[in-house]
Amino acid sequence: MKVSIIVRTKNEERWISSCLKAVYSQDFQDFEVIIVDNESSDSTLAKVGQFPVKKILACTDYLPGKALNIGIAAAEGEFIVCLSGHCIPTNSSWLGNLYRNMEDPEVAGVYGRQEPLSFTPPADKRDLMIVFGPERRVQKKDSFFHNANSIIRKEILDRYPFDDKITNIEDRVWAQVVINRGYAIVYEPEASVYHHHGIHQDGNQQRCQNVVKILESLNGNAYQQDHMHRLQDLNIVSFIPVKGFLKSLGGKPLLEYAVNASRKSKYIKSTIVAADEEQVLRSAKDMGAEKTLLRDPSLSQEYVGLEKVYKFILQQLEAEHNFPDIIVLLETTYPFRDAKLIDDLVDRLVFQGLDTILPAKIENNAIWVDGEDGMKRVDGGFIPRNLKSPVYLSYKGLCCVTRPEFIRNEEILGENIGVMKIDNPYYCMEFRDDKDWQMPDVSLFHVN
């Protein structure tokens, strides 16, 4: 065994599948993977279980050097690769490019490049772009080293292990030790990973943004959409809840409009319908839904919100070892949505690194709230529209794209929420109450 890859994790469900997919896609294949997990409470380990990892080890009372030493003690490889669970190798030659530097016996360790993502905060993006440049270098005095993406000789680690008592920079402390003993450290930019946060924090945001803008213009790389979360590799599913029997519009069940839009999406891999009537589930199968679930009658009570229904669906999937990366929530009452709306929302969620995204339209009319003190206006007042701050009305039932960690906690929205402005007025037309069916029939010509 040439290489043991040690991946440290703690609640990395958003990243770990992309990380391991990239690892197992390497051209260099003489390796084992060891996971050292720090008491993850999400689905990290369940997702890890979908890959042929050699060992899964536990680390409590986490310290970075301690976690790595646990993995090193169990490793069989001649060389140890350290990789953070939220770092994603950028290509299939990452591991080979790290390994080739170890042909020189004077080299104790090699660390690779770390590239920011489109949504990495400006301060972190600036730091990553400055520190991890495009030129290879050999360090005989500089002890900078980074264990988010590195390779080290195991025989040297056996003699000079990581300090397992310090809380930070165990990598640089170790590098100083081996440099003092005459070894060299190499920086290899061709062994690159995507890393969503940086090595430093804080700073003047405006200044950071200006620095990042200049750096991006110099190297011609704006860090746009070709980053770790390649959409075709993500497990994106849609949840469609149905309560009671099907209602129809234009001679077609409302459910069918939702299923059709979901199945036409270029990103959604599975359309899942959860209903409380067997007849509805049979119809959903005929419409092309990949999976149907009969939900408990208790989930159809008037006081039960959709958060509980969505949690039920996710629990059923995860019990079958199906772990979504992104969940698209669709309600049947909006028949005029199309696949492009869904795909645009998914694109933006991933590109901007959002927790949740919703479609929304700008409301320019007066908005009032009826409170204890009577009606109170909450928009910008009677001023020209171009001077008003925009007020967005979101449509959660039309399409909400979110992450499984929130659904698992009976929530829908995360903290980092985005909205996507929509201009098509038919998107927002909802058919829920009897009066909604009294709309002019001309609207039916706009159904997808």
Homologous superfamily of 231-446:
Spore Coat Polysaccharide Biosynthesis Protein SpsA; Chain A (3.90.550.10)
Q: How far apart are CA 246 and CA 238, in angstroms?
A: 19
Q: Encode pLDDT of 258-304 as tens digits.
A: 999 999 999 999 999 999 999 999 999 999 999 999 998 888 888 88
CATH 3.40.50.970, applies to 3-219: no
Tell whether the model's pLDDT for residue 442 goes beyond 60.
Answer: no
Distance CA 229, CA 351 (A): 9
* DSSP assignments along 279-290, one per residue: HHHHHHHHHT-S
Predicted confidence band of residue 64 (pLDDT cuts 50, 70, 90):
confident
What is the pLDDT of the chain when averaged over all its residues?
A: 88
The pLDDT value given to residue 109: 97
Concatenating the DSSP letter of every residue in 238-250 gives EEEEE-SS--EET
What secondary structure, in 3-state letters, does 340-406 show? HHHHHHHHHHHHHCCCEEEEEEECCCCCEEEECCEEEECCCCCCCHHHCCCCEEECCCCCEEECHHH
Specify which of 111-120, 160-169, 234-243 reaches the highest per-range mean pLDDT.
234-243
| pLDDT band, residue 307 (cuts 50/70/90) | very high
What is the structure's pLDDT at 20? 96
Tokens 């890890």 correspond to what residue? 48
The pLDDT value given to residue 329: 98
- 447's tokens: 């159904």
pLDDT category, 218, cuts 50, 70, 90? low
Domain boundaries, the chain: 3-219, 231-446
Q: Is the pLDDT of residue 192 over 60?
A: yes
Q: Please check whether residue 348 is in contact with residue 119, taking contact to mean a CB–CB distance below 8 angstroms.
A: no
Q: Please tell me which of 245-254, 376-385, 414-423 the model is most confident about, judged by mean pLDDT.
A: 414-423
- The span from the CA of 72 to the CA of 162, in Å, is 10
Distances (CA, A) of 147 to 71, 213, 275: 13, 28, 48
Q: What is the pLDDT of residue 211?
A: 56
Angstrom distances, CA of residue 52 to CA of 29, 35, 47, 105, 233:
13, 11, 11, 31, 18
Look up the pTM and report it: 0.80
Q: Above 70 in pLDDT, residue 215?
A: no
At residue 440, the pLDDT reads 52
Which residues make Cβ contacts (< 8 Å) with residue 421, sequence separation at least 6?
A: 360, 361, 362, 392
In this model, does residue 233 exceed pLDDT 90? Answer: no
- If pLDDT is split at 50, 70 and 90, which confidence band does 228 have? very low
What pLDDT is stored for residue 319 in this prediction? 94
Which residue, among 313, 309, 412, 408, has the nearest Cα to 358 in the 3D structure? 412
As beta bridge partners, residue 36 has 8, 57
Higher pLDDT, 74 or 436: 74
15 pLDDT exceeds 90?
Answer: yes
Residue 251's pLDDT is: 86
Q: For position 294, what pLDDT does the model report?
A: 94
End-to-end C-alpha distance for the chain, whole angstroms: 55
The tokens 């701050």 sit on which residue? Answer: 389
Rg (CA), the chain: 26
Nearest Cα to 285, choosing from 253, 312, 315, 313?
253
Q: Report the DSSP pairing between strands 356-362 and 270-275.
A: unpaired
List all residues 6 or more positions away from 318 whose beta carbon is below 8 Å from its beta carbon.
43, 46
3-219 with 231-446: one CATH topology? yes
The whole-number pLDDT of residue 166 equals: 81
Name which of 77-81, 220-224, 374-378 the model is least confident about: 220-224
